[in-house]
Each structure stands twice: as C-alpha cells, then as structure tokens.
Amino acid sequence: MSGLGPLSSFKRNPALRFAALVGPGAAFIVVSLLLPLLSIVVFSFWRTESYELHADWNLDNYRTLLGEAAYRIFFLRSLVTALIVTVVCVVCGWPVAYFIARHGGRYRLLLVLALAAPFFTGAILRITALQGLLGPIGLINMALGMVGLGPVEALMYTQLASGLALVYLFIPFMVTAIYLSLVNFNFELLEVAKINGARPWRAFIEITWPLNWLGTAIGMILVFIPCLANALTPRFLGGPDATSFGMSLAQQFGETGTWALGSAMGVAMFGASLLVILCLKPTIRLKRSGFTGAMTP
C-alpha cells in the first residue's frame, strides 16, 4: 500500500490522465471563446455613450435593430448573399472535388494543397487581386475594351462583384470538405448502381449525394457562416449599395463607437448562424449517411 507516490497514483488513474490531457485545451476554449461570447451578450443589453459602455440594462439596441429599416436590409442582404454564395460553392465545388477524388490519382494530395495556395497570401491581398481583375481598369474590362466592348458595369463595385469575391474566398473550404468526404466513399457502389439499372445521374442522386451529404453539409456551414458575417468584400468591391450586416457591425466597433449596438448585432448574427445549423441538423441522419455503416468487411 505504501510507496504509492503522487506520480504513480497519477499513472494509475485514467480520469486524472485524461483531465491532464484535455484540460489545457478545454480551458483555452472556455477563456478565449466562451467568455468573449458571453461578454457580447451582456454588452448587447447595455448602452454606449461617447465611446463608453454604461451598464444600465435595456433593450434599446434590439429595438433599433428591429426598428430601423437599414439594419433589416443589411441583414437580409447578408443572409441572401450567404445563401446564394453557399449554393454556388456547392454547385461549383462538387465537380472539382469529385474530379480530384476520382481521377486525381497520385496527384490528389497536391491538387488539394493547391486549393490552399491562395491562403498563403491573406484575405486582403486576395481581395485586392480580385479588384485588379474585376475593376474598371482590371484585366477583364481592359481586355473587353481592347476588343471594342464596353466595360461590364455589373462587375464594378456592385453586389455581384462582392458575391463573386466571396465565392472565390470560400470555395476552397467547400471543395476540401467534399473531397475529404469523397476519399472515404466507395466508388464501387456506383458500379453496383449502374448494373442495377441506374443511369449516371440517377446513381449520383441515389448513392453519391446521400453518402456524401454529411461532408457537403459541413462544407456548407464552413462557407455560410463566414459569409453571413462577411465585412471585407463589400468594402473593397461592393460599392455604395452593398453594405452588409457584418460591415455595419464592424463600423459599430470602429468609426461610430456604438459597442452595445454592435454587440446586439453580433448576438443576432450568432442566433442566425445557430438557426441555420439547426435547420441542417434534421437532414443529417447518421444511418442514412452511411456513417455508421461498415460497408466492407
């Protein structure tokens, strides 16, 4: 009985070892993620005056958000943009991911890494690069000008330009999520479907899509949520009519210094994101995704 020092009792107690392993990471998450979130919820019920927060509890910030048309427009604009961008990313990302997973062969890893290459430069630089592509003296409009076609106005400082930039920024997440799902997909199942009378398109709908829906849904969340919060692309590419909710939110913490209202906007955004995830949840049934299926013995 004697001779069991603290070290050996640590070695013998799996719960203790587990706590030592998980503890630091969990503590970091609590401190750096949950606490700021909580403080934002608290601030949203406070009041800002002359760039200072006052702790008198009220609902004025939420009244402003719901009452003023501008905020409703910003929010709807962000929501619709995020939805469209997500759908575009799914439609454009699927074939790319499918091609890499199916035909990438030994270059698969390289191709996926290539998707990450734009990240090496940072978001601002990438947006600036897009400005150079889409703007009045950008590559596209210059080229069109040289062959005698006028500049495409739709691409210059419009919501379309801002949305295009979002697709460009976030499609790598979508492709990566779908790719990671597809590398675990047994393509032989498609042969089985075809022998059993399924045309390629039908086989996709019956087999490929449902078995990779989980990965696709993860990609959709990875794209949708940052797009909803997007503040950058409208600022650089959007022009006057493209102000997004996220951009307005950023202004509350910057130029206008209305932190309490900004916090309320943050809470609204958090709620909206949560709502979208909750909407996706019932579509994900683990059995129906084949997730628990040990397909091959």
Partner 1 sequence: MLAGVTVPGATLELKSVTRRFGPVTAVDRIELAIEQNEFFALLGPSGSGKTTLLRIIAGLERPDEGQVEIAGRDVTDLPPYGRHVGMVFQNFLLFPHKTVAENIVFPLRMQNLPRARRDEQLAWVMGLLRLQGLEARYPNELSGGQQQRVALARGLISRPALLLLDEPLANLDRELRSEMEVEIRRYQKELGIPFIYVTHNQEEALTMSDRIAVMRNGRFEQIGAKTEIYTNPASAFVATFVGHANRIDGRIMEIDGALARMSWNGGALLVPRPAGAAIGDKVRYFIKHEDLEIVPAAVNGVAANDVNEIRGLLRDIIFKGQTANYIVAVPDGGDLVVSDTPRTVGVHPNQQVIVRWPAGAGACFTDEAP
Least distance between partner 1 and beta carbon 93 (Å): 21
Least distance between partner 1 and beta carbon 203 (Å): 8
Amino acid identity at 190: L
Per CB under 8 A, 297 contacts partner 1: yes
Q: With beta carbons less than 8 A apart as the criterion, state whether 225 and 83 touch.
A: no
Q: With beta carbons less than 8 A apart as the criterion, state whether 77 and 233 touch.
A: no
Of 50 and 196, CB closest to partner 1: 196
Q: Choose the stretch contacting partner 1; rule: CB under 8 A; options: 3-11, 221-229, 268-276, 287-295.
A: 287-295
Q: How far apart are CA 116 and CA 74, in angstroms?
A: 30
Contacts of partner 1 in 166-225 (CB under 8 A): 186, 188-189, 191-199, 202, 206-207, 210-211
Q: Choose the stretch contacting partner 1; rule: CB under 8 A; options: 22-30, 46-54, 247-255, 285-293.
A: 285-293
Q: How far apart are CA 241 and CA 171, in angstroms?
A: 24
By three-state DSSP, how is residue 230 classified?
coil
Least distance between partner 1 and beta carbon 142 (Å): 47
Q: At what angle do helices 159-182 and 108-116 cross, to 10 degrees?
A: 150
Q: How far apart are CA 169 and CA 116, in angstroms?
A: 10
Where does 183-228 have alpha helices with state H? 188-195, 200-203, 209-211, 213-228
Of 33 and 295, CB closest to partner 1: 295
Of 46 and 94, CB closest to partner 1: 94
Per CB under 8 A, 73 contacts partner 1: no
Query: Per-residue x/- marks for partner 1, 235-274, CB under 8 A?
Result: ----------------------------------------
Cα angle: 88, vertex 94, 95; to 5 degrees: 110
- Residue 258 is classified by DSSP as -
Query: Can you tell me which of 12, 103, 281, 288 binds partner 1, judged by CB under 8 A?
Result: 288
Burial class (CB in 10 A: 0-12, 13-18, 19+), 108: middle
Q: 216: closest CA among 204, 202, 234, 201?
A: 204
Per CB under 8 A, 72 contacts partner 1: no
Least distance between partner 1 and beta carbon 220 (Å): 19
Least distance between partner 1 and beta carbon 289 (Å): 6
Of 27 and 192, CB closest to partner 1: 192
Q: Which residues bind partner 1 (CB under 8 A)?
A: 186, 188-189, 191-199, 202, 206-207, 210-211, 287-290, 292-297
